[in-house]
Amino acid sequence: MAFAKKLFFTVLVVAIIENSASAPNDPWSGIAWYLSADIKSWLPQSGIAANPFEIMLLLVLLIWALRGRKDRRFHFERGLLFWPVVTFGALLLFSLLWGTFQPGSNFTVGLWEVRALGIGILAYFLVGILFTHRRDLDTLTWAILIAALFLAIEDLIRYEFFLPGHVVGDLNYDHGDATILAFTILLSLGMLLLGSTHRQRVFVLFSLPVDIIAMMVTHRRAGEAALAIGMVFLALILLRVNRKLFLQIVPVTALILSLYVAAEWNCNSGSALCQPARAISSQFNPDPRDAASDQYRLTERYDLVLNIQANAFTGLGFGRQYIFYIPLPDESFWPFWHYTPHDEILWVWAKMGIVGFMAFWWLVASALYRSGRLTQALSAAGDNKARALLAAAACLIIMQMSVSYVDLGLTDDRPMLVLWIMLGVIGHLPGILRRSTNTDVPDRSTRPVNGRTTNELDKETPEVQVGVLAHALIAPAEPASSSQRDPWSQRRNAGKQAGPRWGQSNGTTGAKQTSRPLSGVAQSHTSRPSASSRSATQAPAASPLDFDELELPWATRSEEYKGRTGEL
C-alpha cells in the first residue's frame, strides 16, 4: 500500500497547486487545465468523462482492492462519521437518479454537479484505508503546507507578470484558491499557537506571510470573509485549550486588526493589500462592482427559495435546471448557469429536498462535534502536534460553509478534496492511533495499552480512546528520572519513561499503585510481574494522564468499569 499512499498524497499536492483559471500568457494555467478537465475534452477519442485526479483516486481504491484480495484481508475503517457520510452519499445518489428520470434533465450536467461531493466521499474512506500511522498526519501537514506555498508563489507570479496593470478579473484566479490559502493560514497559525515540530514552526514563519499576500491578490471577498470567521473560531478553540495564551495573544491581535480595518475602510477593489478590510466594509458600503455582485446573489437566492417551495420534499434532483422566477443578468457563457447558483447551501435543499438537506447538516454538525472533542482530547493527552491539524479542520468546515453560502464552494473540487480529507482525519483519528500502537490486529487484542487491553479500551468513548492512545504514542519520547523508570516496562535498548497508568486506587492505609507497560511494546500479560511482587522502590510515579485527571468532562467510564480502578 506504500505506492497507493504516495499516489494519494501526490493527488492532494497537485490538486492544491493546480490553478486552471484563465490568465494571459501564464503557462501554468494551460498545464493545469489538462489536469482539471475531463480527459475526453482534450482527448476526444478516449471517451473518458473523468479528470486525472479522479482517475488516480480510483486507482488508489483499485490498488487497495487488489492488495486485499492477495492478502485475503480487506482492512476497512468505518470511522466516526460513517453513518452521516453514508446517509448523505446515498441521498446524493438518489437525487442524481431522481433528476435523471425527470423530463428535461441532463445526466452529464448532473454528474458534474455531484462529482466534487462524490470524490470527496471516496477521499474520506481512503484516509481510513491508507493512514496507518501517526506519522501520516505529519506527512499530510507537510503536504498541505508545501503545496499551498507553491500555490501562493504561482498566484503572486501571475499577479506580478501576467495580469497587465495588476487588474484582477473575476476569473483570473480559481475561486478555490482563496479557500485553500485561508485554510493554510489558519493551519499555520494553529501550529504556532497550539504546537508543532520545530521544523514546521520554522517553515510556517517563512510561508505564512507569502500565503497572506497571495490571498490578498486574488481579490476574493468570500475568501477574506471566511478567513475572518475562521480566525474567530480558532480563537475560541485557543480559549478552550489554553486560556492563558488566549489572553496574551487574542486581545492584542484583535486591536491591531481593528486599527487596520479602520485605516483601510475606504479601500477600493483595485488595491491588493487592503482586500481583507474591503471584505468587511463592502458589506456596509459596497462599490458599484460589489453592489452589482450582491444584487445578483440576492435575486438568485430568491429564485432558489421559490424553487424550494415548489419542490420542498423531493427536490429538483441533479441535472435539472432551476427556474428563474425573477430574470437574472445573462451569464449563458457558463454552462451551469441554470443548474448551480452561488448560494450552494440552499442549492443542496433545492436539489436534494428537505431530507437531503438535513443529512447534509447532520454530517457538518457531526464533524464539528467530533473535531472539537478530539482536539480537547489531544490537548489533555499532551499531543501538541496533531491538535493544530484538528483545530484547522474544524475551522475549514466553518469557512467552507461560509464560502458556499455566497459563492461556488460545494462544487469546487479542489477545496472540497481538502475538506473531505480533513473530515477523514476527524472520523478516522481513533483508528489511525490504534494502528500506530499495533492494537487493531485481532491476535493482539489482549495486549495492554496504558494498563488496559484493547477490548477494554474499545468500550470507552472515542475521545477517551484518542486521549489514551495519543499519550501512549508520545510518552516514550518524554524523559524520566531513574526513580520514575519501571525496569520491567522500559522500551528495549532505551531508558524511556514507562507508559502512564490508566487507573490507580487510593486507600486509607496508603496509596496502592499499579503499573502497566507502554502501548506499542510487544509484551504479554504473563511477562509482567504482579503488583504484589514489586518492591516499594520500584513503584513508578503517578502518571500525569490518570483517568480521573483527564480533562474531558464527557469522558466517563462505562458502567462495567466504574468502581474497578484498582483492578485495571
Domain spans of the chain? Answer: 79-436, 442-505+512-524+540-561
> Is the separation of the CB atoms in 38 and 48 below 8 Å?
yes
Q: How many residues does the chain have?
A: 568
CA–CA gap between residue 269 and residue 439 (Å, rounded): 56
Strands 452-453 and 510-512: unpaired
Q: Which amino acid is located at 316 in the chain?
A: L
Query: What is the number of other CB atoms lying within 10 angstroms of the CB of residue 196?
Result: 25
Q: How far is CA 318 from the centre of its chain?
A: 26
Cα–Cα distance measured from residue 335 to residue 328, given in angstroms and rounded to the nearest whole number: 15
**Dist CA 210 CA 202 (whole Å):** 14
Alpha carbons 36 and 33: distance in angstroms, whole number: 5
Chunked into runs of 10 residues, the chain (568 residues) has average pLDDT values of 90 92 78 88 86 93 83 80 97 96 91 95 95 92 97 94 84 91 96 92 96 92 92 94 93 93 79 81 81 90 95 94 91 89 95 97 97 91 88 96 93 95 96 80 52 68 87 63 34 36 34 35 34 37 40 43 35
Helix axes 2-17, 413-436, angle to 10 degrees: 150
Helix 135-157 to helix 2-17 angle (10° resolution) is 30
For 79-138, the pLDDT digits (tens) are: 999 999 999 999 999 999 999 999 989 999 999 999 999 999 999 999 999 998 889 999
Please give the pLDDT value at position 449: 62
- DSSP class of residue 526 equals G
Spatial contact of 499 and 520, defined as CB atoms under 8 Å apart: no
The strand pair at 505-507 and 452-453 is best described as unpaired
Cβ(212)–Cβ(404) under 8 Å?
no
Q: For the stretch 497-529, what's the b/e string if a residue is b when 16 or more beta carbons lie within 10 angstroms of its beta carbon?
A: bbbbbbbbeeeeeeeebbbbbbbbbeeeeeebe
Q: Are 194 and 385 a contacting pair, CB within 8 Å?
A: no
Q: Any bridge partners for residue 511, and if so which?
A: 506
Q: Which amino acid is at 104?
A: G
Torsion of CA 207, 212, 217, 221, to 10 degrees: 150
The 8-class DSSP code of residue 162 comes to: I
Distance CA 55, CA 53 (A): 5
Q: Please report the pLDDT score of residue 253 as a whole number.
A: 94
pLDDT at 448: 58
Give the phi and the psi of residue 114 in degrees, each rounded to 5.
Answer: -100, -5
Q: Return the pLDDT at 398.
A: 96
C-beta separation of 190 from 235 below 8 A: no
The CA-based angle 338-341-343, given to 5 degrees, is 160
Instruction: Give residue 214's Cα distance to chain centre.
Output: 22
Interior/surface letters 146-156, b for 16+ CB within 10 angstroms, e for the rest: bbbbebbebbb
Reported as a single tens digit per residue, the pLDDT across 143-179 is: 999 999 999 999 999 999 988 878 888 788 998 999 9
Q: Which of 550, 88, 114, 26 minimizes the C-alpha distance to 357?
A: 88
| Residue 449 grid cell | 495499552
Alpha carbon 415 to its chain centroid, in Å, reads: 10
Identify the CA nearest to 365 among candidates 394, 391, 392.
394
d(CA 14, CA 150): 10
- Residue 113 CA, chain-centre distance (Å), reads 22
Spatial distance between the Cα atoms of 60 and 50, rounded to a whole number of angstroms: 15
CA distance 419 to 400: 8
Task: Give percent above pLDDT 70 in the chain.
Answer: 79
Q: How far apart are CA 115 and CA 348, in angstroms?
A: 14
Can you tell me the distance from the alpha carbon of 488 to that of 442, in angstroms, rounded to the nearest whole number? 25
pLDDT at 450: 57
Task: Please report the pLDDT score of residue 269 as a whole number.
Answer: 62
Comparing CA positions, the residue from 527, 398, 520, 380 lying closest to residue 464 is 380
C-alpha span between 175 and 177 (Å, rounded): 6
Q: Which three cell numbers stand for residue 336?
A: 451551469
For 481, other C-beta atoms within 10 Å of its C-beta total 8
Coil vs helix vs strand at 449: strand
**What does the alpha-carbon distance between residue 566 and residue 380 come to, in Å, rounded to a whole number?**
22
How many angstroms separate the first and last alpha carbons of the chain? 37
Cell representation of residue 234: 480558532
